[in-house]
């Protein structure tokens, strides 16, 4: 079961998060979301529990729990929404002048 963990301290690392959730049950993986440019944590991440029952227990016991001076938000992660279009290209700015021959 994949869990969303929000309102994390920017100083929290993967090992600390894994240790917190391991107290509830076996953890399959931990992923902190980081800023691409700076590598700084963005204050949220995902924890995957090996068992769905342990995932539910983690939601009820760790949601709103204080950790590293912050109240955590823990709930079941929703599937990532598909992103459409956008990005790149040369669409902005002044319109190009037509060449006059």
User: What are the boundaries of each domain within the chain?
Assistant: 2-72
Please list the pLDDT of the chain residue by residue as tens digits (101 residues): 999 999 999 999 999 999 999 999 999 999 999 999 999 999 999 999 999 999 999 999 999 999 999 999 999 998 877 777 666 655 555 655 666 66
| 3-state DSSP of 38-87 | CCCEEEEEEEEECCHHHHHHHHHHHCCCEECCEECEEEECCCCCCCCCCC
Q: What is the pTM of this model?
A: 0.78
Task: Give the number of other Cβ atoms within 10 Å of residue 100's Cβ.
Answer: 4
Could you tell me the two tokens for 9?
Answer: 């301290």
Query: Which class is 2-72 in CATH?
Result: alpha beta
């Amino acid at each position: 079961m994949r869990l969303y963990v929000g309102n994390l301290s920017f100083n929290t690392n993967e090992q600390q998060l894994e240790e917190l959730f391991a107290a509830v049950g076996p953890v399959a993986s931990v992923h902190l979301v980081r800023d691409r440019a700076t590598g700084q944590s963005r204050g949220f991440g995902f924890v995957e529990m090996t068992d769905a029952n342990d995932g539910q227990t983690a939601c009820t016991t760790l949601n709103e729990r204080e950790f590293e001076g912050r109240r955590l938000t823990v709930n079941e992660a929703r599937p990532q929404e598909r992103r459409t279009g956008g990005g790149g290209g040369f669409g902005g700015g002044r319109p190009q002048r037509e060449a006059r021959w």
